[in-house]
Amino acid sequence: MFLQMRYIITSLLLVFICVSCNSTAIITQDKSSTISYLALGDSYTIGESVAENQRWPVQLVQKLKEEGYPIQSPKIIAKTGWRTDELLEAMNNEQGEEKYDLVSVLIGVNNQYQARDFKQLQEELEIILQQAIKKSKQGADGVFVLSIPDYSVTPFAKGRKVDEIAREIKSYNEQCKLMSNNYGIKYFYITDISKKASENLDLVATDGLHPSAEMYTQWVEKIYTNVKQMLNE
């Protein structure tokens, strides 16, 4: 009886070891085909005034990881204050022919803030989108654009021409949406979330201008389902 029981236990252990080995092999295979992500933008993408792990591209990646997606940390090409021409220059200076499973674009607020000609946004945004498509493994299907937040409701804008700011941001976003549609790129409108800052200062970072980690979380929650669909198509 003792020998029989010992045989059963040994057999079960061998089965467990085999199953564990198979699981490890599957995990290794997943890691060898991890999802890559390129985030292009300005202060809103680099996450001015929040911690690195609170940037919205980083939060998006973390949420995908929690659901089992084998995704790499995002490669971010963004800097506070960049206009469309400065982002383009940085993209042009980027070496290599690497392509990405996901590419995001959020740019234009500094064109408005620095009172640049609207035509500049039109011309340079189109080039940015063209280059983003080239950087995507799936072409336009792997690219998405986020709308520009409306900073007219932030403490920073107090005493400024807030109605004019809001009107110009709206025009910029209409152009971003139109151009995204023309290229078959998904366009996610998060400006409505930014406007909540007029009544909830928890959505604004300590600098009184940029989004807080909580606002970035709300952005991610709004776009998440659509981004997952892009990965599953």
CATH of the domain at 87: 3.40.50.1110
22 falls within a domain: no
Percent of the chain whose predicted confidence (pLDDT) is above 90: 84
Q: At 95, is the pLDDT very low, low, confident or very high (cuts 50, 70, 90)?
A: low
* Tens of pLDDT, residues 206-218: 999 999 999 999 9
* Tens of pLDDT, residues 169-207: 999 999 999 999 999 999 999 999 999 999 999 999 999
CA separation for the pair 161, 59 (Å, rounded): 33
Give pLDDT, residue 94.
Answer: 84
Side chain identity at residue 119, one-letter code: K
Q: What is the mean pLDDT of residues 101-113?
A: 98
Specify the length of the chain in residues: 233
3 falls within a domain: no
Q: Is the pLDDT of residue 155 over 90?
A: yes
Give pLDDT, residue 97.
Answer: 86
Number of domains into which the chain is organized: 1
80 falls within a domain: yes
Q: What is the 3-state secondary structure (H, E, C) of the chain?
A: CHHHHHHHHHHHHHHHHHHHHHHHHHHHHHHCCCECEEEEECHHHHCCCCCHHHCHHHHHHHHHHHCCCCECCCEEEECCCCCHHHHHHHHHHCCCCCCECEEEEECCHHHHHCCCCHHHHHHHHHHHHHHHHHHECCHHHHEEEECCCCHHHCHHHCCCCHHHHHHHHHHHHHHHHHHHHHCCCEEECCHHHHHHHHCCHHHECCCCCCECHHHHHHHHHHHHHHHHHHHHC
In the block, residue with structure tokens 């807080």: 212
Name which of 143, 114, 113 is nearest 40 in CA terms. 143
The alpha carbon torsion through 7, 11, 14, 15 (nearest 10 deg) reads -170
User: Quick check: 103 and 78 in contact, CB under 8 A?
Assistant: no
Give pLDDT, residue 196.
Answer: 98
- What range does the domain containing 183 cover? 35-232
Mean model confidence pLDDT for the chain:
88
7 falls within a domain: no
15 falls within a domain: no
148 falls within a domain: yes
Give pLDDT, residue 33.
Answer: 57
CA separation for the pair 128, 13 (Å, rounded): 57
Give pLDDT, residue 87.
Answer: 98
User: Quick check: 1 and 66 in contact, CB under 8 A?
Assistant: no
Q: Is the pLDDT of residue 9 over 60?
A: no
